[in-house]
Amino acid sequence: MGSLQNQNVVVVGGSRGVGRSIAEAALKEKAAVLAVARGKQALAQFAWEVSGVKTLAVDATVDSAPDKVFAALEPDVLVICAGALAPSAPVHEQNWKAFSANWDTDVKASFLFCRAALRRPLKPGTRIVLISSGAALTGGPPNAGGYAGAKRMQMFLAGHSQKEAHRLGLGLRFMALAPMRIMPETGVGKAGVDSIAAYMGIQPADFIAAMTDMQTPADVGRAVVALATGQPQGSSFMVSGSGLAPAA
């Protein structure tokens, strides 16, 4: 495994939760880190609590977002962790706006930044990591609308982008990483636990107690560092309490 020392790491969706853990893991590796998010308050809180992190308030789903981010810091490692809360209702009770929330946020941000990385292009050797979800492999809960499909699309997008980078001789490395278990210590994870538990008619604590092989946000951060500094084969990976592995 190599090092991120003196490398530029950009984490889109990096102000809190898993994204913040990824940014903190990169900081520990002595990288120059830019955390990007929509919320100025969360970014300011991060910068106040952790010295050395740079921040930029940008909506990652706006077409101009990649140009603004790359102008602030040209990445050696680009992590796309931005995402919407999954819907929380049986499929027949959702409208299309609710059902497609993760397509309009998670997938759109991933598409815009992958497209920009290929078009610009980013410098050879740049690694791009899309944060997916274990739901992409399991199908997720039945009350989460288009969430699982959106997270699966991120895996497809990493693979498609890698083929294009190879075809064009760009020397870029695209990967997707799926944390396999919901993480209740994050805001998104807590909302997910509460939603699924309510749908199942059980207490959130009972739902959490039934889960095994759980990873933490810090585990995800370490997995991203491992992908960014190693030479893994393939384009889709998963991380659980058992560690980092190729996705099935």
Kind of pairing between the strands at 236-240 and 54-57: unpaired
C-alpha span between 205 and 64 (Å, rounded):
42
Strands, sheet with 77-80, edge to edge from the N-terminal-most edge strand = 54-57, 32-37, 8-12, 77-80, 127-131, 173-179, 236-240, 243-246
- Check residue 79 and give its pLDDT: 98
Q: How far apart are CA 62 and CA 57, in angstroms?
A: 12
For the chain, give the number of residues.
Answer: 248
Strand residue runs (E) in the chain = 8-12, 32-37, 54-57, 77-80, 127-131, 173-179, 236-240, 243-246
The first and second tokens of residue 57, run together, are 């308030």
CA distance linking residue 200 with residue 136, whole number of Å: 20
Q: What's the pLDDT score for residue 100? A: 97
Within its chain, how far is the Cα of 165 from the centroid?
20
Q: Give the pTM.
A: 0.95
The tens-digit pLDDT sequence of the chain (248 residues) is 568 999 999 999 999 999 999 999 999 999 999 999 999 999 999 999 999 999 999 999 999 999 999 999 999 999 999 999 999 999 999 999 999 999 999 999 999 999 999 999 999 999 999 999 999 999 999 999 999 999 999 999 999 999 999 999 999 999 999 999 999 999 888 888 999 998 999 998 998 999 999 999 999 999 999 999 999 999 999 999 999 999 97
Query: Is the Cβ–Cβ distance between 58 and 112 less than 8 Å?
Result: no
Token pair in block for residue 90:
């049986």
Q: 230, 245, 219: which is closest to 25 by C-alpha?
A: 219
**Could you give the angle at which helices 217-229 and 17-28 cross, rounded to 10 degrees?**
50
> Are the beta carbons of 214 and 241 closer than 8 angstroms?
yes
